[in-house]
Homo-oligomer: A and B are copies of this chain.
């Protein structure tokens, strides 16, 4: 039987709904890939008696529990104290943990506030989990039935600690056999479109299909059982990706999930040593900001509207924004001296932008050495969401262009 795992999130801001718990879903996903069964997520706030009661419940019910949050320096961070009470394991000062925290502050040129000392107090008999990604050390301990691991709730620290500290520990205790996950990342189709698109395909019965909508991509997830042959896994994944067409920008196996639209663009440009400049309007700098990893992007500009661009470039304003985007892109490419120029214009009014029910149109153009290509895209939702969609749709247009032409 698979060991029964639970996830426990601590935080008043979670239980009061101020922030959404994304840690629990991430951890479940990882644990299921490792071959575990996750039976329950529980979230409680910062009432000590609630924490103690929950820890005792879980200790009776589960074989393993991953706990996030409540390890900070402030008075409402009570996880270690709750553990001490629940399992009668008094807190003890851990000199190494203390030194690691002091070093962390020193490296950043700051002095450690006295309140951080609290974070070096760990329950007796617990094993310290070094936190190389933040201040609060984690810890692991075992009650008669259940293996507990405690890590900070900050998602970045939690993820690093899970991968580097908890995974080896857990795998040494349980003989779970990992499932294999393949993730196909797309832009340009919604979840239901993806699902419709895949309905024609015959799925092996043992393969689990799932979708996840992220901020900057939609993931189609294929989960294969441990015994599924590797070559068949690769073949079937390719089949699914082919079915989804040119919306696919990345296919990732278990260990490499980090590709985003910018890293894909970066690879394509680097292969041929090509350079890019960006001129954006509606997306307000966000295209450039997403291109952190695009080394060939040395320069980008945000100009509030196309009238202003025309004025600066001494180009006549045209009503046909597709035609105007070509004109501007060619002009801008020459000026910037790059192989490609990506330009996005918009004629959305202030009201269109502010109204979440109103979608807006975007006029994209890519100028290259030989030709200039245009494409219309749309963005909808709140202003913030529109800005994000505008930036993504421009970059995804460029990614498709590169994959077609290079």
Contacts from A to B (Cβ < 8 Å): 12-22, 24-32, 38-47, 50, 54, 72-76, 107-109, 113-116, 132-133, 154, 156, 191-193, 195-196, 209-214, 221, 283-289, 291-293, 297-304, 308, 356-359, 378, 380-385, 387, 391
Do B29 and A107 touch across chains, with their CB atoms under 8 A apart? no
- Pick from B16, B40, B108: contact of A29, CB under 8 Å: B16
The residues of B that contact A41 with a CB separation of less than 8 Å are 14-15, 21, 41-43
Shortest Cβ distance from A292 into B: residue: B284
- Pick from B76, B116, B292: contact of A210, CB under 8 Å: B76
Do B387 and A289 touch across chains, with their CB atoms under 8 A apart? yes
The residues of B that contact A283 with a CB separation of less than 8 Å are 289
- Pick from B31, B116, B192, B297: contact of A115, CB under 8 Å: B192
The residues of B that contact A114 with a CB separation of less than 8 Å are 196
Do B19 and A73 touch across chains, with their CB atoms under 8 A apart? no
A102 to chain B, nearest CB (A): 14
The residues of B that contact A154 with a CB separation of less than 8 Å are 213
The residues of B that contact A20 with a CB separation of less than 8 Å are 20-22, 25
Docked CA distance A91–B239 (Å): 35
- Pick from B24, B32, B46, B382: contact of A156, CB under 8 Å: B382
Do B109 and A13 touch across chains, with their CB atoms under 8 A apart? no
Shortest Cβ distance from A291 into B: residue: B284
A78 to chain B, nearest CB (A): 13
The residues of B that contact A47 with a CB separation of less than 8 Å are 39
Number of copies: 2
Do B38 and A16 touch across chains, with their CB atoms under 8 A apart? yes
- Pick from B14, B43, B44, B286: contact of A285, CB under 8 Å: B286
Do B192 and A73 touch across chains, with their CB atoms under 8 A apart? yes
Do B44 and A39 touch across chains, with their CB atoms under 8 A apart? yes
Do B15 and A19 touch across chains, with their CB atoms under 8 A apart? no
A118 to chain B, nearest CB (A): 9
A200 to chain B, nearest CB (A): 13
Do A43 and B24 touch across chains, with their CB atoms under 8 A apart? yes
Do A50 and B43 touch across chains, with their CB atoms under 8 A apart? no
Docked CA distance A32–B292 (Å): 40
Q: A24-B43, A196-B113 are in contact. Are A299 and B289 (CB under 8 A)?
A: no
The residues of B that contact A287 with a CB separation of less than 8 Å are 285
Do A38 and B17 touch across chains, with their CB atoms under 8 A apart? yes
The residues of B that contact A108 with a CB separation of less than 8 Å are 359, 378, 380
Docked CA distance A397–B293 (Å): 26
The residues of B that contact A40 with a CB separation of less than 8 Å are 15, 42-44, 50, 54
Do B42 and A42 touch across chains, with their CB atoms under 8 A apart? yes
The residues of B that contact A303 with a CB separation of less than 8 Å are 298-299
The residues of B that contact A289 with a CB separation of less than 8 Å are 283-286, 288-289, 387, 391
Docked CA distance A211–B356 (Å): 30
A302 to chain B, nearest CB (A): 4
Q: A15-B38, A32-B17, A108-B378 are in contact. Are A299 and B288 (CB under 8 A)?
A: no
Do A302 and B288 touch across chains, with their CB atoms under 8 A apart? yes
Do A107 and B17 touch across chains, with their CB atoms under 8 A apart? no
Docked CA distance A109–B376 (Å): 13
A235 to chain B, nearest CB (A): 23
Docked CA distance A345–B262 (Å): 23
Docked CA distance A284–B285 (Å): 8
The residues of B that contact A113 with a CB separation of less than 8 Å are 192-193, 196
Do B44 and A29 touch across chains, with their CB atoms under 8 A apart? no
Do B292 and A299 touch across chains, with their CB atoms under 8 A apart? no
Do A28 and B17 touch across chains, with their CB atoms under 8 A apart? yes
Shortest Cβ distance from A18 into B: residue: B210
Do A74 and B17 touch across chains, with their CB atoms under 8 A apart? no
Q: A113-B192, A303-B299 are in contact. Are A12 and B210 (CB under 8 A)?
A: yes
Q: A192-B116, A195-B73, A300-B302 are in contact. Are A25 and B29 (CB under 8 A)?
A: no
